Amino acid sequence: MAATITLLLSLLILMVKVGDAQQVLKLQNPRLMNCRFDKIYQFGDSLSDTGNCIRETLCGANLSCGALPYGMDFYQNATGRCSNDMLIIDFIAVESGLPLLNPYKDENADFRHGVNFAVAGCTALSAKSLAENNIVNIALTNSSLSVQLDWMSSHFQTTCSPADCPEKMNDSLFLVGEIGGNEFIYGLSQGKTMDKSRRMVPEIVQTIIHGVKRVIGFGATQIIVPGNFPIGCHPIFLTKFMTNISTAYDEYHCLKDLNNFAIFFNRNLQQAIDELKKDYPNITLIYGDYYNAFLWLLQNAGSLGFDNNSLQKACCGIGGEYNYDVHRRCGAPRVPVCVDPSTHISWDGVHLTQNAYRWIARWLIDDILPKLNCQV
């Protein structure tokens, strides 16, 4: 009886949550519903994780996203999302008329409408490749992209056969990423030079492309491969690489070198996607332009309800010009949260607030919808 009541309460909360998301987006007619997706599959890191990392022993123990104030606006429930509330994938699911994606590691979850394989702190490269590049994964998770793809393989073995999997995937949307950004966050934070980080880009991009090929092998026909945000605008890097040299910053007070690095990575990824399209002309492969979505948000922040004086300050944080201290991060004792997270772009110095993800999701959907095989 108690289990039944708990299940009913969980379903009620989910229904209310989806309704809230639709209200937040002011959806009259959710645009992605025209695509008639029946399932969504997500691979990636903390930008997309809805609860996998907190279910891994080492990763969860080292992840602050599993406790308040993370999820503080998600019915005071820390689900493992590295934000105060919903992520881009949540808004994409709502716009598709589907429930929020459950994490693969939740053994009791309903996966009829897709699975979220993303793990906070993960990398595109394997643990072995990270070690060869002298990078330590401080999140203590080995659930790299290849591991997530193995999870997908195991999941499909229980839900469809090799003969009918491709047909069942016809109406599914796959998001392979964002992933690959943590290699640079870890590397740069551990003293790796920009030049050495650039040398890693081809290997990371090819790892992502290999992952896309595996997804196609299972029957995926509609795939989005997101790039990276302009990392030079994030409080974590603005704090670490702070300088008095004014020419180091652009007109938005973002660090030029770091943003140029993100552009370099994204261009390599875009080129690889374009090459892959030649081999799979019948597959819809779309580059998810996170970089320009973020820049659009930054350029229009004031008119979208954000506080122009806090655009590069973490909402949950303490100290310094950007309200970020690597030794006293969000979730640590006596680290405060801003009064209104919706007025901030950055949630904790690394991840964004729900309101930022909401607007970025809207920009992305506007950008990708004409490229999808949908009746609009």
DSSP one-letter string for 182-251: HHHHHHHHTT--HHHHHHHHHHHHHHHHHHHHHHHHTT--EEEEE----GGGSHHHHHHT--S-GGGB-T
Looking up tokens 């991009």, which residue turns up? 205
Looking up tokens 């954000």, which residue turns up? 306
Single out the catalytic residue among 73, 90, 325, 348.
Answer: 348
The number of CA neighbours under 13 Å toward the Cβ of 34 is 14
C-beta separation of 32 from 96 below 8 A:
yes
Among candidate residues 355, 347, 356, the one with its CA nearest the CA of residue 69: 347
> Beta partners for 115?
41
- Residue 83 CA to residue 75 CA, distance in Å, equals 13
Looking up tokens 């595996």, which residue turns up? 214
- Residue 70 CA to residue 77 CA, distance in Å, equals 8
Single out the catalytic residue among 113, 234, 344, 351.
Answer: 351
Single out the catalytic residue among 46, 48, 129, 144.
Answer: 46
Catalytic-residue membership of 253: no
C-beta separation of 103 from 80 below 8 A:
yes
- b/e per residue 192-201 (b: at least 16 CB within 10 A): beeeebeebb
- Residue 74 CA to residue 94 CA, distance in Å, equals 15
Catalytic (active-site) positions: 46, 348, 351
